[in-house]
Amino acid sequence: MNRRKANTVAVVAGLVALVLPVLLALRIAHDLSVDAVSAQALTLSEDVMRRAEATADQGTAAVALLVAANDPNRCSDANIALMRKADVASSYLQSVGAVSNGRLMCSSLGSHGAGLPLGPVAYVSSKGARIRPAVRLSIAPGVRMLVLEKSGYAVLVHHDLAVDVFTGHPDVSLGTFAASSRMQITGRGRFDPRWVSAATKTGPAVRFDGDNVVAIHWSREHDFGTFAAVPARYVSQGAHRIAESLVPLGALVGVLFLIPILLLARRHTSLPSLIRSALRRRQFYLHYQPIVELATGRCVGAEALLRWQRPDGSFVRPDLFIPIAEESGLIRKVSRRVMELLRHDVTAILAAHPELTISFNLSAEDLHSLHLLDELRELLGAKNMLPRNLHVEMTERGILDTDPARKMVHAIREMGIRVAIDDFGTGFSSLSYLTTFEVDYLKIDKAFVDTLGTTAATSHVAMHIITMAKSLHLTTIAEGVETELQATILRDAGVQYAQGWLYAKAMDPAALCDFVTSSGRPRNPAAQGNAHANGAGPALAT
Ligand code: G
Ligand code: G
Ligand code: MN
């Protein structure tokens, strides 16, 4: 993934990580508030239903009592006494009376002479009850009465009795409606016919239509239902209250998600800029790991390995920053710096040990650069430096069968610089390229050296590599040699050179010079002489 893409992905992922939990918190707050308001609306509607149902039951019972008495004179003293009895027995009824031609002739209050006009019937229920929702009688002009008339008798109920429940909110609408016609019978507050028109007569139901949370109950016995409508305002107020604690929690969760994303993004985005500033501030330097001749133990060369020390004293490992430099297009700058450092270091090293060979690592991109040959020429211009003193190492991956890389390797060798295949055996290429590439050395990867002398299946691989290298007339260098046993096995197998902690770790140039000196004067003058005789021949010669 390139840097820009990684940045975009990180920003998008970061935004999602932060925004999603907050949106979720808002959503949950809203849902919780709808739930709470719904429960409240259901409770209110149920309360109204309980009161309206009791009223209807008591009215039905009172009428049934009078019908059963069957007094031909419905306003007789005996019948009015019966009305009083029914009235007193009913907690919800204000009065019970007899109706004739739309006039209340008498009631539990007594005879009304010529009768009190009740006004038009608003609605006849499916059970035959004639309903007048808001009658004002001349004997109580300030009061609206709900009059339910049946079989010539009527019960009078205070219009607001059923809806006189405590709501906690002034603008909550409550009421009763006719189940068959869906007309409002009683109520307080607003009534929107749509609240009840679409409702089906099943159990209690609650719906949020965006403006109101509407709860509905249906009477089991009678032809009416009740409703309670709580305005949406209470939903948003409740959601606000819940969100006040839930959204910070969501934001916290978002930040917790964000942290690993930012850390990942930092790793992707800031290491390249750290490399850039490390180049500017000259935080890179080279250490050299000795390469010894297995037969003699003599140090014949060294591999330059890049080191990076940060201003805080910490070290960054090359196996971490080299791949990042390669990904972010900085590797050429890094390689140029390596050559610059080499140019500086080799003069002193070669002054002390003119036969030493210095290897350094190149990346795939270097081999595709038009400038590499000029840079190598400049490096060869270092004081005391001859082409035979220089080796370049490249991985199988780096030279993988591309024509430009092949030409570059050819051109490098034409300059007298030897070429080694690094980390040999770990690449994924076929071995066939070895027959088409002109290279000088194979560096057997530490992974294979590690298994030498063990029973691991891969312990044979090193042997195969050695055999193959011999048949291709390539010189082998074993990497990562840590034990005498490994050294012995390698030497017996005919491997010429080795590098590893058994001999030395990478060290600074001065330490390298001492190491070479103490690794013994040439015990094999013939080899030395040979190298000289060859003139341009490398110290690492077969
Ligand atoms: O010794 P060390 O752990 O530093 O090496 C780790 C890896 O980094 C090795 O695979 C080595 O090849 C690579 N490396 C070290 N120095 C350089 C360098 O100058 N250029 C490149 N391309 N790779 C290097
Ligand atoms: O470029 P190359 O992959 O060859 O770099 C060699 C790597 O192997 C470096 O990281 C170096 O520090 C490491 N190395 C060299 N010798 C030994 C050794 O004997 N043991 C271990 N564990 N690592 C080694
Ligand atoms: Mn190497």
Pocket test for ligand 1, best of 319, 393, 445 (most atoms within 8 A of CB): 319
Q: What is the pTM of this model?
A: 0.56
Tell which wins on pLDDT, 455 or 318. 318
pLDDT in tens, 321-332: 999 999 999 999
Alpha-carbon gap, residue 18 to 519, rounded angstroms = 61
- Please report the pLDDT score of residue 521 as a whole number: 53
Whole-number pLDDT of residue 268: 58
Q: Where do we find the tokens 């009840």?
A: 196
35 alpha carbon to ligand 2 midpoint, in Å? 66
Using CA atoms, how far apart are residues 242 and 249, in angstroms rounded to an integer? 11
- Mean pLDDT, residues 256-281 taken together: 83
Adjacency order of strands within the sheet including 173-178: 184-188, 173-178, 224-231, 212-218, 205-208
At which residue do the structure tokens 């849902």 appear?
Answer: 31
Q: How confident is the model at residue 112 (pLDDT cuts 50, 70, 90)?
A: very high
What pLDDT digit, counting tens, does each position of 341-387 carry? Answer: 999 999 999 999 999 999 999 999 999 999 999 999 999 999 999 99
pLDDT of 440 = 93
- Per-residue confidence band for 480, with pLDDT thresholds at 50, 70 and 90: very high
Task: Pick the residue whose CA is nearest to atom 8 on ligand 2.
Answer: 480
Q: What is the pLDDT of residue 424?
A: 82
Mean pLDDT of 485-498: 96
Distances (CA, A) of 500 to 266, 356, 481, 482: 34, 17, 4, 6
**CA 307 – ligand 1 centroid, Å:** 9
Neighbour count for residue 85 (Cβ, 10 Å): 15
**Ligand 2: which of 422, 501, 503, 507 to mutate, judged by most atoms within 8 Å of the beta carbon?**
501
Which range among 246-255, 282-291, 363-372, 485-494 shows the weakest confidence by mean pLDDT?
246-255
pLDDT recorded at residue 456? 79
- The answer on pLDDT for 139 being more than 60 is yes
Amino acid 529: pLDDT: 37
Residue 496 CA to ligand 3 center (angstroms) comes to 17
Task: Judge contact between 279 and 337, C-beta under 8 A.
Answer: yes
What angle is formed at CA 367 by the lines to CA 361 and CA 370, rounded to 5 degrees? 130
How far apart are the CA of 525 and the centre of ligand 2, in A?
30
Residue that wins the pLDDT comparison between 434 and 365: 365
pLDDT of residue 267: 63
Q: In this model, does residue 141 exceed pLDDT 80?
A: yes
Q: What H or E segment, with its residue span, contains residue 85?
A: helix 77-89
The finding on whether 318 has its CB within 6 A of some atom of ligand 1 is yes
Residue 522 CB less than 6 A away from ligand 1:
no
Q: Whose CA is nearest to atom 9 of ligand 2?
A: 305
What pLDDT score was predicted for residue 530?
A: 38
Give all strands (DSSP E) within 351-507, no chain letters: 357-361, 390-395, 418-424, 441-444, 475-478, 497-498
Distance 85 CA to ligand 3 centre (A): 112
Atom of ligand 1 nearest to the CA of 363: 22
Q: Is 487 in the pocket of ligand 1 (CB under 6 A)?
A: no
pLDDT band per the 50, 70, 90 thresholds, residue 532:
very low
What does the pLDDT read at residue 169?
Answer: 80
How much is the average pLDDT of 474-482?
A: 95
Q: Which residues pair with 249 in a beta bridge?
A: none
Q: How far is Cα 133 from Cα 183, in angstroms, rounded to an integer?
A: 11
Give the containing element (helix H, strand E) for 89: helix 77-89
* Separation of CA 450 and ligand 1 centre (Å): 19
Sign, Cα dihedral of 58, 62, 64, 65:
positive
Q: Atom of ligand 1 at shortest distance to CA of 325?
A: 22
Residues comprising the chain, all counted: 542
Cβ proximity of 222 and 127 under 8 Å: yes
- Cβ atoms of residues 132 and 147 within 8 Å: yes
Site to substitute for ligand 1 among 338, 361, 507, most atoms within 8 A of C-beta? 361
Dist. CA 53–CA 223, nearest whole Å: 10
| pLDDT confidence of residue 403 | 81
What is the distance in A from the centroid of ligand 1 to the CA of 385?
Answer: 22
Cα(6)–Cα(273) distance, rounded to whole angstroms?
14
Largest CA distance in the chain: 151
| Residue range 40-49, pLDDT digits in tens | 999 999 999 9
Report the nearest-CA residue for atom 7 of ligand 2: 480
- What is the bridge-based pairing of β-strands 441-444 and 418-424? parallel
How far is it, in rounded angstroms, from Cα 120 to Cα 132? 7
- Which atom of ligand 2 approaches the CA of 501 most closely? 19
pLDDT band at 270 (very low <50, low <70, confident <90, very high): confident
Index of the ligand 2 atom closest to the CA of residue 319 = 10
- pLDDT band per the 50, 70, 90 thresholds, residue 431: low
Query: Which residues have CB less than 5 Å away from ligand 3 (the ion)?
Result: 361, 393, 422
3-state secondary structure 95-151: EEEEEECCEEEEECCEEEEEEEECCCCCEECCCCCEEEEEEEECCEEEEEEEEEEEC
Quote the DSSP letter at residue 192: -
Ligand 1 centre distance from Cα of residue 361 (Å)? 7
Of all atoms in ligand 2, which is nearest to the CA of residue 481?
A: 19
Reported as type and span, the H/E element at residue 468 is helix 459-471
Q: Nearest residue CA, atom 17 of ligand 2?
A: 480
Going from the Cα of 305 to the center of ligand 1, the distance in angstroms, rounded, reads 5
When mean pLDDT is compared across 66-70, 99-103, 438-442, the lowest value belongs to 438-442
> Taking the C-alpha atoms of 530, 534, 538 and 542 in order, what is their torsion angle to the nearest 10 degrees?
-50
Ligand 2, atom 14: nearest CA belongs to which residue? 480
Ligand (nearest to CA of 392): 3
CA distances in angstroms from 425 to 273, 400, 465, listed in the order given: 33, 13, 8
Q: How confident is the model at residue 522 (pLDDT cuts 50, 70, 90)?
A: very low
The answer on pLDDT for 399 being more than 80 is: no
Ligand 1 centroid – CA 362 distance (Å): 9
Residue 330 has a pLDDT of 95
Q: Which atom of ligand 2 is nearest to the CA of 393?
A: 1
Condensed to tens digits (0 to 9), the pLDDT of residues 208-226 reads 888 999 999 999 989 999 9
pLDDT exceeds 90 at position 483 = yes
Task: Answer with the residue of higher pLDDT: 279 or 161.
Answer: 279
Q: Mean pLDDT across the stretch 412-429?
A: 86
Work out the angle at residue 158's Cα, subtended by the Cα atoms of residues 147 and 105, and round it to the nearest 5 degrees.
Answer: 40
**Number of the ligand 1 atom closest to the C-alpha atom of 393:** 12
Helix (H, G, I), strand (E, B) or coil at 470: helix
Taking CA atoms, 471 is separated from 347, 434, 461, 464, 530, in Å, by 36, 11, 15, 11, 23
Residues with CB under 6 A from ligand 2: 289, 305, 361, 422-423, 446, 479-482, 499-501, 506
Instruction: Note whether 405 and 399 are within 8 A (CB).
Output: yes
What is the mean predicted confidence (pLDDT) over 123-131? 91
- What average pLDDT does range 266-290 have in this prediction? 88
* Ligand 1 atom showing the smallest separation from residue 305 Cα: 16
User: Would you place residue 7 in the very low, low, confident or very high pLDDT band (cuts 50, 70, 90)?
Assistant: confident
What dihedral angle (degrees, nearest 10) is formed by the CA atoms of 80, 85, 89, 95? Answer: 20
Nearest protein CA to atom 19 of ligand 1, as residue: 306
Closest residue by CA, ligand 1 atom 23: 361
Average pLDDT of the chain? 89
More confidently predicted of 398 and 55: 55
> Does residue 538 carry a pLDDT above 50?
no
User: 138 and 119 in contact (C-beta within 8 Å)?
Assistant: no
Model pLDDT for residues 151-199, shown as the tens digit of each residue: 999 999 998 888 888 887 888 999 999 998 899 999 989 999 999 988 8
| Side chain identity, residue 537 | G
Ligand nearest to the CA of 303: 3
Phi, psi at residue 153, to the nearest 5°? -115, 160
Is the pLDDT higher at 4 or at 426? 426
Tell me which residue has its CA closest to atom 21 in ligand 2: 480
Average pLDDT, stretch 528-533? 38
